[in-house]
Chains A and B, each alone.
Chain A
Amino acid sequence: MLRFLLRRLAFVLLVLFGITLITFVLERVVPGDPARLLAGTRASQQVVNQVSKSLGLNRPLLVQYGLYMSDLAHGNLGISIVTRNPVTHDLVQYFPATLELIIYAMFFGIVIGVLIGVVSASRGGKTDVVGETIATTSLSIPVFWLAILLQFLFYSRLHLLPVSGRLNPGVSPPHTITGMYTIDALLEGNIPLFLDALAHIVLPAVSLMVPEVGLVAKTVRASMLEVLGRDYVRAAQAKGLTRWRVYFRHALRNALLPAVTVMGLEFGLLISGTVLVETIYSWPGLGSYTDQAIASSDYDAIMGVTIVVAVAYVVVNMLVDVLYAYLDPRVRLT
């Protein structure tokens, strides 16, 4: 296991190097002048040049990259020209918001998706048709449309849930431990704050969860159908085990392998793909931050987000591999 982790760490560093190099060059090749944006559109060229110099933009590209990587090695991701904060500071603010959303969406998406997939594959017939319909519909619904519909239904019509944001107006967030309000509120023992944060996360999480339900359900169903035809499953049934014990203890564990891969990829995709939901629900997460950074040619912020997403992808895939080994003892971590 240790050797596996060390090899993966080396791989992470290699991936980071490649991604930072490509992103660094691309963002500087694309038209845009962050010095002008930072100085203001009515600043004189002298002021713009001074700002450009302070940002190091007047140096050769290779030198700029070297300096950036040197700063990166010391944990310095630079300064955002949009927020004027250290990028690290911004990421600490924005990333947990997205992570919290994804965790809830993925958790419930997986639970519900697995249930639907298993029931669909095991029951067959009309149940399978219903399950497939739910899965296909879930996958087909545009996320932004669903988000607005949920707002309209649960806020405007039923007055059950808040329309946007992470907390009610004027409510102060909990002390930052993880940056995820529901968890931090619980850790603080502040139940009213926890409930407020929970109420606010329901609709955006459901909006993200629905497509995951469909994806997981379809993947699990397909895997289950394949596994249910295996000899060991028939043997387990012949031994007189209950149907649900056969499905969940014997079949599902093997059927989950392809689903775990898909879930891992989905998790990584969601980290950078929540901008629509975040915009509709005014959820101040990584998606919104990235969108703003790209529009403003905020080089350091773009690089920071890229690094975070790359690291997240690699970490998630590493966890997927570990989970693989747990689910299937025949798989060796190398």
Chain B
Amino acid sequence: MARVTPSMARGTPINRRQLLAGSLIGAGAALAGCSTSQPGTTAGTNRAAPPPLNGRSPDTLVVAVDAAVEDLDPATNLDWAFGLAPVYDTLVGLVGSSAFTTRPQLATSLTPASKDFTTWLCTIRPGVRFQDGTICDAAAVKAAITRTIDLPGGIGYVWYIADPDRQIVLEGTDTIRFELGTPRPFFNQELAQEYGFYIASPTACAAHSTGKNDLGHAWLQSHPVGTGPYKLRSLIVGQQATFVRNPDYWGGWRGRHFQQVVALTIPETSTRQQLMLNGGADIDLLTNPEDMVQLEQDPRFTVNTQHTLTMDYIALGQYGPLADTRARLAMNYAFDIAGYIKGIERNTDYYPHGVFPTLLITADPAINSVPYDLHTAKQLFDAAGVRSGTSLSYEYYTGFGDQAGAVLQASLAQIGIRLQLIEKSYSGFVEDYFSNAPSSQRPNMYFFSWWPGYDNPFNYAQPLFTKSGWGAAGGNAGLYYNPEAESLIMSMENAVIDDELRAKSSRVQQILSVTDPAWIPVAQEKVAIAFRNDIRGFVANPVYEETFDFYALSRSSSSQLS
């Protein structure tokens, strides 16, 4: 198979795991006013000892998750990096809770070697070994990256390196020169992403390869070999994954760390809740609002709410009755964001400030979403020629977007607009959303969710709001096009973060949110994670959603809880 040239959108749309979780994701966040306290710190003033472990080893961390840990091949896993993070390393990582600042990981340094950012120099940490004992040097890293890019059906396109043989140049045993061909000033942020950038042992992959269409993939899915702090001891598909310490981990084992980490796959929220309340689990990932309220009010637990870069939208189609700017502005006035977040989401998401998430590095906090005003909406619809009795269609997939659709339907009904809700299966929705079908065959709007691959306005906006993101090429299912926004967004590619970029980003945000609205911003998602009070060390990062640095976690003794 020919190597795919980097030609398309650079953001990260909804992944399969999140879409499959559906309503659990949409509802599964935290509480209004909940602090972003970390486990082991006081969310309120009343902190009690957590439930007894009931014979469980304190050296084992048990995490209750809603989806199966599967496909541990970093060259194909686009769904959920939870199982990859303990076993593999990326070349660089993100510092703490920053979505932008990187730190050394497998690479001790990654710096631009040319002023135009087309060449980068990477120094590999010396003396690191993969969990199969083979050395992780520059040659091994190059082989691992090449495998990721070459694997048919994989996600190697995220590297945007068409010819790894030529573009990844070895300079000695520990140095790699990346000849990227195009300016990429955020190459270090790109390499800190979770999907497609973990480094697997090329020796192990080659040894278990069954041919050029496999490259060890079938084997690596359940036998991951990385350089990370934990090794996979056993994987019971659909039930649990057990990770044990890698004694040869390059970071060493000074300080307090877990010996073993067990991820239990428990799709049902009430079951996970019972497990937490009775001491069967240490961490609970993604529960519904009612469960989170209970844990927040229980002094034995700490709930960490993580502000994310993920936004929920109603993606409006710039065709049919909504082709006119006034009609799309009317749609924004017709959706009661505050009512939705308070009444439906129970304040478990944040109010959006326009189409950009507030955590986006260039987001303008002065730009607000259009307020709810049905009278203004009606006037705008009339001015745009959208008369009472007009029928619009809204597409979503099961468990994701149904409630937002119902809220919008109820509002529009009050001003004589009929909204037909079309429910699809996840697969059917994906087929529709990312299709090249003409506007006449598309619904008038979709419910959609998005977060960027890395914290950058171009990375965020280009796939969603430019012509290059239309149809199968990106996430612009509404076929939105505004000449000024288009020009500004494309000029932001590879631009450094400075005042000029911020000004451009602000103007784009204004256009997309108010002047010529593309979509309706519904909510900024929070991710909520519940911890027993004796778990320490968690630092939330908006890019590393729902994955953990298990190496950094530890269990305190009961005397340390106060």
Judge: A and B partners, yes or no.
yes
Q: Chain A 16-59 against B: per-residue CB contact (8 Å), 1 yes, 0 no?
A: 00000000000000111110111111111111101100100000
The answer to whether A163 and B271 touch (CB under 8 A), given A41-B430, A156-B277, A170-B242, is yes
Interface segment, one of B97-105, B259-267, B288-296, B554-562: B259-267
Are A40 and B267 within 8 A (Cβ)? Answer: no
A interface residues, how many (CB within 8 angstroms): 56
Q: Can you name 15 extra interface pairs (CB under 8 A) apart from A36-B472, A84-B71, A296-B427?
A: A38-B153, A42-B9, A47-B157, A83-B237, A84-B221, A93-B238, A164-B266, A167-B239, A169-B56, A169-B242, A170-B262, A172-B234, A280-B271, A282-B266, A284-B237
**Alpha-carbon separation in the docked complex, A84 to B472 (Å):** 23
Are A292 and B274 within 8 A (Cβ)? Answer: no
State whether the Cβ of B76 lies closer than 8 Å to any Cβ in chain A. Answer: yes
The answer to whether A169 and B62 touch (CB under 8 A), given A40-B155, A48-B472, A282-B239, is yes
CB nearest neighbor in B for A281:
B271
**Alpha-carbon separation in the docked complex, A48 to B153 (Å):** 8
CB nearest neighbor in B for A156:
B274
Are A292 and B427 within 8 A (Cβ)? Answer: no
CB nearest neighbor in B for A299:
B427
The answer to whether A169 and B264 touch (CB under 8 A), given A54-B153, A284-B238, is yes
State whether the Cβ of A247 lies closer than 8 Å to any Cβ in chain B. Answer: no
A68 to chain B, nearest CB (A): 19
State whether the Cβ of B358 lies closer than 8 Å to any Cβ in chain A. Answer: no
User: Which of B13, B16, B218 is close to A85, meaning CB atoms less than 8 Å apart?
Assistant: B218
A–B Cβ pairs within 8 angstroms, 23 of them: A32-B428, A32-B430, A32-B431, A34-B427, A38-B153, A40-B155, A42-B11, A42-B13, A44-B4, A47-B4, A47-B157, A48-B472, A155-B274, A159-B54, A162-B280, A163-B278, A169-B62, A172-B234, A281-B268, A282-B267, A284-B237, A284-B265, A297-B427
State whether the Cβ of A95 lies closer than 8 Å to any Cβ in chain B. Answer: no
**Alpha-carbon separation in the docked complex, A90 to B472 (Å):** 31
Are A83 and B70 within 8 A (Cβ)? Answer: yes
State whether the Cβ of A289 lies closer than 8 Å to any Cβ in chain B. Answer: yes
**Alpha-carbon separation in the docked complex, A54 to B262 (Å):** 36
B4 to chain A, nearest CB (A): 5
A84 to chain B, nearest CB (A): 6
Are B474 and A42 within 8 A (Cβ)? Answer: yes
- Residues of A near B14 (CB, < 8 A) are 41
Residues on A lying within 8 angstroms of B by beta carbon are 30-34, 36-48, 50-51, 54, 82-85, 90, 93-94, 148, 151-152, 155-156, 159, 162-167, 169-170, 172-173, 279-282, 284, 288-289, 292, 294-297
- Residues of A near B48 (CB, < 8 A) are none
Are B153 and A164 within 8 A (Cβ)? Answer: no
**Alpha-carbon separation in the docked complex, A317 to B517 (Å):** 61
User: Which of A31, A39, A148 is close to B270, meaning CB atoms less than 8 Å apart?
Assistant: A148
Are B78 and A40 within 8 A (Cβ)? Answer: yes
- Residues of B near A48 (CB, < 8 A) are 472
Are B264 and A165 within 8 A (Cβ)? Answer: yes
B428 to chain A, nearest CB (A): 4
A115 to chain B, nearest CB (A): 32
State whether the Cβ of B114 lies closer than 8 Å to any Cβ in chain A. Answer: no
- Residues of A near B218 (CB, < 8 A) are 84-85
Are B20 and A297 within 8 A (Cβ)? Answer: no
Are B20 and A292 within 8 A (Cβ)? Answer: yes
- Residues of A near B277 (CB, < 8 A) are 156
